[in-house]
Amino acid sequence: MTVRIVQLNPFYFPYAGGIERRIRAISERLAARGHEVHIVTAQQPGSVAGVVEENGVHVHRLPSRFPLRRFYNPPPVLTRGVRDYVDALRPDVVDYHFRWSPSWNRAFRAMACPGKVATIHNTYGEGTGLLAAASRLNDKLYLRTLRHAVRVLCVSDFVRQQFASHGAPLDKMRVSYNAVDLPSAPPQPVASAVPYAVTVSRLVPLKGLDVLVEAWRRVPAPLDLVLVGDGPDRARLAKLAKRRGVANRIRFTGWVSETEKHGLLAGAVAYLHPSRFEAFGLSIVEAMAEGAPVVCSRAGGIPEAVGDAGPLLPHEPKAWAEAVTRLARDPAEARAARARSLAQARRFSWDAIADGLEAAYAEACQAGAISPPMASS
């Protein structure tokens, strides 16, 4: 059964977060299987408005504005005409991947497509401080959007159960994990004069990176910490590192190329993921696919991603310092941890995820055809 699919998300490449990497991976595979796949997104700075074909996928970038870009990641987005644009494509399925834009939420709810699917990539009410309060309010309102979907996909069972506990329709919900492309050749580590541990993350408070900065006071030299990524928390983390006397051992790289990222993962003593909120943790699976030993927090869906590949820690700097020091000092343990990482990464295949999506989209088409239309709101 050939299906015309719209992947709907205001952020897409060149913005390259975990959601965007998932959309690209599944879209290319579904297109290769003969489906007609469109990605409708907002025009990002550095990209051109209009339609282009990328590896068999039609990417539509709509003119948009991004107020407060300096203060939020991802920032608020304003795009006009999303509903009419998607309706004109006459899709069989629309899979919506966002929750933080009221205008995009309204557009999704009002679309004529009967096979509406929503994919949840985040935990309910995630965030710290004022962001947590805003997130809880937003997600309470987002439940109304989910009621307009005939299927709801969740990137972990944790997310599925959590949203169901807040009133999401459990009977419509399915788990659709994230995955990675396993390297076709042995990874090539980057050259480094000093051993290092690495993390890849948006630099925002909910990622818990302050725990690593605090931990580094207890990690014996020579062992650096490499923070790959960027975001509004970078200045605060840099100041914290200076106050704790470890600024000369913590490197901020900003965002790097995919080749450099994979090289950093392959050469690391450990990949560290101290997030306070995490629906699944795609970057963890990417690190395991490169053979990096992983040390992660026990938050959200992270245990489903990690399995028994590495320890799951509380947000206590001493525990993190001890775990990374042990890997740095014990070559036998490091080799065993690398083997566990590779074995766990093999469990997550985009081809298997695409199989599940084809089944879910077929369900959505059938359910949408027999369900009475819902009034837009």
220 CB-side CA count, 13 A: 6
Summarised one tens digit per residue, pLDDT across range 198-225 is: 999 999 999 999 999 999 999 999 999 9
Q: If we measure between CA atoms, which residue out of 315, 320, 312 comes closest to residue 218?
A: 320
Q: Of 357, 189, 348, whose CA–CA distance to 284 is shortest?
A: 348
Res 185: pLDDT: 77
**Positions of the chain with pLDDT under 50:** 372-377
Contact criterion met (CB below 8 Å) for 323 and 313: yes
Structure tokens at 253: 């790289």
19 token code pair: 């959601």
Q: What is the dihedral of CA 63, 257, 7, 142, to 10 degrees?
A: -80
Classified by CATH at the fold level, domain 196-345 comes out as Rossmann fold (3.40.50)
Question: Residue 260 has which token pair?
Answer: 């450099």
- What's the predicted TM-score (pTM) here? 0.87
Residue at token pair 């006071």: 217
Whole-angstrom distance, CA of residue 205 vs CA of residue 193: 30
Q: What secondary structure, in 3-state letters, does 180-232 show?
A: ECCCCCCCCCCCCCCCEEEEECCCCHHHCHHHHHHHCCCCCCCCEEEEEECCC
Whole-angstrom Cα distance, residue 268 to residue 273? 13
Q: What is the pLDDT of residue 219?
A: 98
Q: pLDDT tens for residues 245-264?
A: 999 999 999 999 999 999 99
Residue 187: predicted pLDDT: 74
- Establish whether domains 4-179+349-370 and 196-345 are of one fold: yes
- Note whether 291 and 221 are within 8 A (CB): no
> Do residues 59 and 52 touch, judged by C-beta distance below 8 A?
yes
Query: What's the confidence (pLDDT) of residue 370?
Result: 61
Overall CATH class of domain 4-179+349-370 = alpha beta
The dihedrals phi and psi of 42, each to the nearest 5 degrees, come to -85, 150
Residue among 85, 106, 111, 108 at smallest CA distance from 97:
108
Q: How far is CA 66 from the centre of its chain?
A: 20
Q: How far is CA 303 from the centre of its chain?
A: 15
Domain ranges of the chain: 4-179+349-370, 196-345
> Within 10 Å of residue 92's Cβ, how many Cβ atoms?
21
